[in-house]
Amino acid sequence: MKIAVVLAHPDPGSFNAAVAHACIGQLARLGHQVLLRDLYGMNFDPRLKRGEIPGDKPHKAERDVAEERAMLAEVDGFVFVYPFWFNAPPAILKGYVDRVFSMDFGYALEVDRIRPLLGGRKLVSFSTSGASEHWVHSSGALDALMTLFDLHLSNLCGLSTSHTHFGDVTRDLTPEAGEQRLRQVRQVIARHFPEQAPARAAPGRARDDLLRRL
């Protein structure tokens, strides 16, 4: 399988980056091809353009979006990795979804209905927050995000979704606590993207210890 890992964090030394690279390492160990889309590293422009607004009139994807869609055309699954900022995904990830997963890639607009175009593919999300796990769940913050983001992508694009959230991710996160969570990340990845044969040799885990900052 070919899996796209989409990272939405500006700090390459963040726990989010560590999660992304744990995903990459595990996917490779399981024999999958991996396509990393580091949105900040790519300097992706999240601003939806006037001509990209879905509607009845014909529209054309901008060059950067057309190239991104071409790269993702044969992807079998997606992994999103991002922090909670004001209880929502970073603007760069929301803009990536707005522009890339919109009409003619995520779904088709037909006469009397919307037809999902990504059916059969998985979206596995890992999100983080400096707030406690208890607060994120008891306040309804995670449920609200999943309703507006995960559920919408599922209904509109046909993606099956899974979401794992890590609370209490702060600058004080210890290497031990970080590694425990990275083990959970690897387990989630293995559950949703089982081993392919023959498996390729796994890359080193040098990037797995990027636990310095949120």
Tell me, what CATH number does 30's domain have? 3.40.50.360
Decide if 19 is inside a domain.
Answer: yes
At which residue do the structure tokens 């600058």 appear?
171
For residue 214, is pLDDT > 50? no
pTM: 0.88
* pLDDT for the residue 56: 58
Averaged pLDDT for residues 13-27: 97
Indicate whether 206 pLDDT > 60. no
Q: What is the pLDDT of residues 44-61, one digit of tens each?
A: 999 998 888 876 565 678
**Is pLDDT of 209 > 70?**
no
At 57 the pLDDT is: 61
In a domain, 11, yes or no: yes
Task: Please indicate, yes or no, if residue 214 is contained in any of the structural domains.
Answer: no
Looking at residue 109, its pLDDT comes to 85
Total structural domains in the chain? Answer: 1
Residue 87 banded pLDDT, cuts 50, 70, 90 = confident
Q: Is residue 74 situated within a structural domain?
A: yes
Mean pLDDT, the chain, whole residue set: 89
The answer to whether position 136 is within a domain reads yes
Look at residue 126 and tell me if it is in a domain: yes
Domain range for residue 88?
A: 2-209
**With 60 as the cut, is the pLDDT of residue 211 above it?**
no
**What's the per-residue H, E or C state across the chain?**
CEEEEEECCCCCCEHHHHHHHHHHHHHHHCCCEEEEEEHHHHCCCCCCCHHHCCCCCCCCCCHHHHHHHHHHCCCCEEEEEEECECCECCHHHHHHHHHHCCECCCEEECCCCEEECCCCCEEEEEEECCCCHHHHHHCCHHHHHHHHHHHHHHHHHCCEEEEEEECCCCCCCCHHHHHHHHHHHHHHHHHHCCCCCCCCCCCCCHHHHCCCEC
